[in-house]
């Protein structure tokens, strides 16, 4: 049985669906800090499975104990965490406590119940401002904000656990920039509060919720001056977890993989592709660089292909189309 922490979130919900399609049994937990309860009903409908769900905060020791006591959990996919970079700068203690203490409590329960397999949601943010792109898994790591530091610290904690327990396996997945949504239009990224990331902000401008999209900087050393990232369809990312879980089942030690497409697209590339495939104008205005942003980051995805047999299938047009279809559906009654 797989435990999915943060199952109600954007990537957790898509991964639960992918795992279900691949025949895995799972239980889920979330405290809805950044997601909606309805997502659980939607997931049960989509998967046709009445999987067990626990509304628990991972900081709640007794709540976590109950999940492990009531289920034979042999592996964990660990999504639960707070992820807003700006908020992490304002509230570092909240971020360190939630993400790190929460993971430590999870690891204590795993140890107590003999669960030795974990797939962890890390991030390309651990590459900091890379000296060269594409980035591969052996490149130096550094962080520029508390959120990123929690990811790097958890990676290191999991590596230490693998050293201490030779049967333990931690697969550290460094996600690049997930966008898009499942074709059913019922799960996707619809964050609570004001979004930070480009695609949800772009959708808000397209819907007229905001007056325009702010383009942060046109003076980067990139092909059109705007920041370059590796956007990856969330369904590809979800499939990467199925592959990673299979790998964890018959491996030991800490294994690190980039989950990206290997393609770098700029902010203008995204705006123009979105406009073209969806037939909508994106009003935008150009502003100075956002502090902390790096010029260009995209993945070398070869290791995931060679060792997990996983490769992204969707292109930027699919991602733009699916993001738009989902957000129109999610906001149609507002
Ligand atoms: P999300 O916010 O949609 O999902 C995270 C889920 O964790 C939410 O449902 C939230 O309610 C839950 N959660 C947070 N703290 C919790 C706690 N203490 N107890 C129980 N549940 C808790 O985010 P996402 O985009 O689905 O990201 C999933 C994971 O992937 C996160 O760890 C995130 O840091 C990481 N990640 C995301 C991105 C991205 O761009 N979306 C990129 C790299 C890494
Ligand atoms: N970006 C932007 N306007 C926004 C949000 C983001 O121009 O409203 C740019 C940002 O500078 C970066 C890219 O879009 O170059 C991706 O930003 P995002 O926050 O989505 O991801 P991250 O910076 O964490 O990779």
Report the relative pairing of strands 228-229 and 265-266 from DSSP bridges. Answer: antiparallel
Backbone angles phi, psi at 46, to 5 degrees: -60, -45
**Rounded to two decimals, what is the model's pTM?**
0.98
Which band of pLDDT confidence, cut at 50, 70 and 90, is reported for residue 205? very high
Ligand closest in space to the Cα of 175: 1
Q: What count of residues does the chain have?
A: 334
- Reference 295, options 133, 155, 141, 84; nearest CA is 133
Average pLDDT over residues 24-49: 96
Above pLDDT 90, what percent of the chain?
95
**pLDDT for position 58:** 98
pLDDT of 190 over the 90 cut: no
**pLDDT for position 228:** 98
Q: Which atom of ligand 2 is nearest to the CA of 176?
A: 25
**Chain centre to alpha carbon of residue 158:** 18
**pLDDT for position 291:** 87
Q: Rounded to the nearest whole angstrom, what is the distance from the C-alpha of residue 197 to the centroid of ligand 2?
A: 6
Which candidate in 10, 17, 95, 147 is catalytic?
147
Which band of pLDDT confidence, cut at 50, 70 and 90, is reported for residue 193? confident
Cβ pair 46, 184 in contact under 8 A: yes
Q: Rounded to the nearest whole angstrom, what is the distance from the C-alpha of residue 159 to the centroid of ligand 1?
A: 21
Report the relative pairing of strands 75-78 and 53-55 from DSSP bridges. Answer: unpaired
Q: What is the mean pLDDT of the chain?
A: 96
Which band of pLDDT confidence, cut at 50, 70 and 90, is reported for residue 196? confident
Pocket of ligand 1 (CB under 6 A): 6, 8-12, 30-35, 57-59, 79-83, 98, 102, 121, 123, 175, 177-178
**pLDDT for position 129:** 92
Q: How far apart are CA 84 and CA 226, in angstroms?
A: 21
**pLDDT for position 318:** 98
Mean pLDDT is lowest, of 86-90, 111-115, 189-193, 292-296, for 189-193
Q: Which atom of ligand 1 is nearest to the CA of 33?
A: 11
pLDDT of 285 over the 90 cut: yes
**pLDDT for position 97:** 98
Q: How far apart are CA 186 and CA 202, in angstroms?
A: 19
147 is catalytic: yes
Q: Rounded to the nearest whole angstrom, what is the distance from the C-alpha of residue 115 to the centroid of ligand 1?
A: 22
């Amino acid at each position: 049985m797989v435990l999915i922490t943060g199952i109600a979130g954007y990537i957790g919900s898509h991964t639960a669906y992918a795992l279900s399609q691949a025949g895995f049994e799972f239980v889920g937990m979330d405290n809805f800090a950044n997601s909606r309860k309805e997502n659980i009903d939607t997931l049960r409908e989509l998967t046709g499975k009445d999987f067990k769900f626990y509304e628990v905060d991972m900081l709640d020791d007794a709540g976590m104990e109950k999940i492990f006591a009531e289920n034979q959990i042999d592996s964990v996919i660990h999504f639960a965490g707070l992820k807003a970079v700006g908020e992490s700068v304002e509230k570092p203690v909240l971020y360190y406590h939630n993400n790190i203490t929460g993971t430590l409590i999870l690891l204590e329960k795993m140890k107590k119940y003999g669960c030795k397999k974990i797939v962890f949601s890390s991030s390309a943010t651990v590459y900091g401002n890379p000296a060269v792109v594409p980035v591969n898994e052996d490149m130096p790591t550094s962080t520029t904000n508390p959120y990123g530091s929690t990811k790097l610290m958890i990676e290191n904690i999991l590596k230490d656990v693998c050293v201490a327990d030779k049967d333990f396996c931690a697969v550290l997945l460094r996600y690049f920039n997930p966008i898009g949504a499942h074709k059913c239009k019922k799960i996707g990224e619809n964050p609570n509060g004001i979004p930070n990331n480009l695609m949800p902000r772009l959708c808000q401008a397209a819907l007229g919720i905001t007056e325009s999209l702010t383009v942060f900087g046109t003076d980067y050393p990139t092909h059109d001056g705007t920041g370059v990232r590796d956007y990856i369809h969330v369904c590809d990312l979800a499939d990467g977890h199925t592959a990673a879980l299979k790998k964890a089942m018959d491996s030991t030690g800490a294994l690190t993989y980039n989950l990206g497409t290997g393609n770098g697209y700029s902010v203008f590339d995204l705006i123009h592709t979105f406009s073209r495939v969806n037939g909508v104008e994106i009003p935008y205005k150009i502003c100075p660089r956002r502090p902390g942003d790096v010029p260009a980051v995209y993945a070398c995805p070869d290791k995931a292909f060679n060792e997990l047999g996983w490769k992204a299938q969707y292109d930027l047009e699919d991602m733009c189309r699916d993001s738009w279809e989902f957000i129109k559906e999610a906001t149609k009654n507002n």
